[in-house]
Structure 1
Amino acid sequence: MATSDRKQELKIDVTSDNICPWCYVGKRRLEKALSQIDSSRVNVSVSWHAYELDHGLPRDGSLLKMDRYKQKFGEARIKQMLPTMMETGKQEGIQFSFGGKIGSTFDSHRLLYYVKQQENGEQKQNALINVLFRAYFEQEQDLADHQVLIKAAEEIGQDGNQVKQFLQSDQYKKEIQDEINHSQQEGISGVPHFVINDKVELSGAQDPQQFLQAFRKAGITF
């Protein structure tokens, strides 16, 4: 039997929102765990699925991020949360910055779905989500702004004019709404949420060792 025939399959489905700081942290920690797996023995596939963390955000126009945070959490809690988040980010190589604007992430989820339909779609989706996280959390850019999304797509080699036409269309709106509805039906109340090989579930930005334990629980040996 050829070595490739013996490869194990590790499938990871991640439910996430692009304005969720713990999703950014969770992605970094997942990548640390995956770096400890021998790629000659295990095929890894990672797919990202849409979630709306803040259903009250406008689909047209945006709000000041700090104003929205204060509305949702209150000023006292924000003063506690942000320093903790920034320190956690530093440990993962993320420079969190909480200025800028916040709006609906629906179109950014559509864009992630759009690139996934292409050749090598999973790799493109993973590359794009890195760009989106960095744009929002480190560069204070607004993911509801189509110009920001077009620039992000261009960073991973997409044609800006084609992306602009796509964003102006209704393509994949139903698919993204279906994903959001599905996550609610599955009882997912917080993100990031990970499903390993359709068997093992993990919630939150777990440490790399927790991911490795989950992979073993799902039947992966490494």
Structure 2
Amino acid sequence: MPDRRVIKLLVISDLICPWCYIGQREMEKAIELCSNLPVDVEIEWRPYRIYPSLKDGSFVPKREWYESRFGKDKVEQMEQMASTRGEQLGITVKILEGVISQTTLAHRLLFKAWKLGGQVKQQALLTLLFKAYFETSENIGDTQVLAKAAVTADIMTRDEAVKFLESDELLEEVETMMTDARRKGVNGVPFVVIDGKWAVSGGQTAEVYSQIFKKLATGEVSAPRPRVEPPSAGVQVSA
């Protein structure tokens, strides 16, 4: 029996990006497709701000914010594309209901989840926050919403979560990771770095990810294909 291969992924994403939610589900499907291969996929989610102009603590109705930025026609196209792709994956993606806010607090909580419980805790929290934002239109910039998610994901108590979120713990580390991603040329998400050697940009399908995993499992160490760029290439992603 061949030795099991560990594939390490760094996924740079933002919680208010619909293609990051879609990308998470596609990656989960890819891992399911490769369940019969001698591979283990380890995932760490890293922070990113797709809209740096959004101010922390400022909550704006999504429709108002998107239409002022992109125009009504473009926004309707974005909504239809994301909704249709989500339906194909069995998830709901609503981009115009509720409020939009900066994601610094949520990223800090996700990093705390990683430090406390690694992939299992971080993935559980990430899924809850994506669902809260895109499916039930909750404000993931709100401390109480985040604290509730932390409790549900069994990361910490509500009081512990509120205390953490009201502090500056891990803020410097999260800011540094986001700055570092842009410095290395990442200007769109999702952006997936594979084993520190290759990167896949954009809302790829499960089939693309599974092809890469299969190549790595069978010892093909050349750069995965298709649409793979060096981590520093910084491919612009349309969302």
Q: TM range, normalised to the smaller chain?
A: over 0.9
**1:41 corresponds to which letter in structure 2?**
P
The partner residue of 2:23 within 26, 48, 52 is 26
TM-score, normalised with respect to structure 2 = 0.86
User: Residue 40 of structure 1: CA displacement?
Assistant: 7.3
Match of 2:180 in 1: 182
1:6 aligns with 2:3: yes
The 8 Å contact of residues 11 and 190 in structure 2, kept in 1 or not, is answered as: yes
User: Residue 39 of structure 1: CA displacement?
Assistant: 6.7
User: Using the alignment, how far apart are the partners of 2:212 and 2:41 within structure 1?
Assistant: 14
Q: CA offsets per residue over residues 126-173 of structure 1, 9 Å max, x none?
A: 110000000000011111111110111111113111011000110000
The 8 Å contact of residues 9 and 43 in structure 2, kept in 1 or not, is answered as: yes
Q: Show the 5 A alignment for 1:1-222.
A: 6-38=3-35, 41-97=38-94, 98-118=96-116, 120-157=117-154, 158-217=156-215, 219-221=216-218
User: Residue 102 of structure 1: CA displacement?
Assistant: 0.8
**1:188 corresponds to which letter in structure 2?**
V
The 8 Å contact of residues 100 and 140 in structure 1, kept in 2 or not, is answered as: yes
Q: How many residues are paired up?
A: 217
User: Using the alignment, how far apart are the partners of 1:76 and 1:198 within structure 2?
Assistant: 39
- Identity of matched residues, %: 34
User: Using the alignment, how far apart are the partners of 1:206 and 1:107 within structure 2?
Assistant: 27
**1:202 corresponds to which letter in structure 2?**
V
The 8 Å contact of residues 200 and 214 in structure 1, kept in 2 or not, is answered as: no
Runs of 5+ consecutive residues of structure 1 not aligned to the other structure: none
User: Using the alignment, how far apart are the partners of 1:38 and 1:92 within structure 2?
Assistant: 18
User: Using the alignment, how far apart are the partners of 1:211 and 1:34 within structure 2?
Assistant: 8
Which protein, 1 or 2, shows the higher relative CO under an 8 Å CA cutoff with sep ≥ 6?
Answer: 1
The 8 Å contact of residues 34 and 213 in structure 2, kept in 1 or not, is answered as: no
User: Using the alignment, how far apart are the partners of 1:186 and 1:39 within structure 2?
Assistant: 35
Match of 2:227 in 1: none
Q: CA offsets per residue over residues 15-64 of structure 1, 9 Å max, x none?
A: 00000000000010001111122377222210000000111112122111
**1:107 corresponds to which letter in structure 2?**
L
**1:184 corresponds to which letter in structure 2?**
R
Q: CA offsets per residue over residues 147-205 of structure 1, 9 Å max, x none?
A: 11011111111311101100011000000000100110110111000111112210011
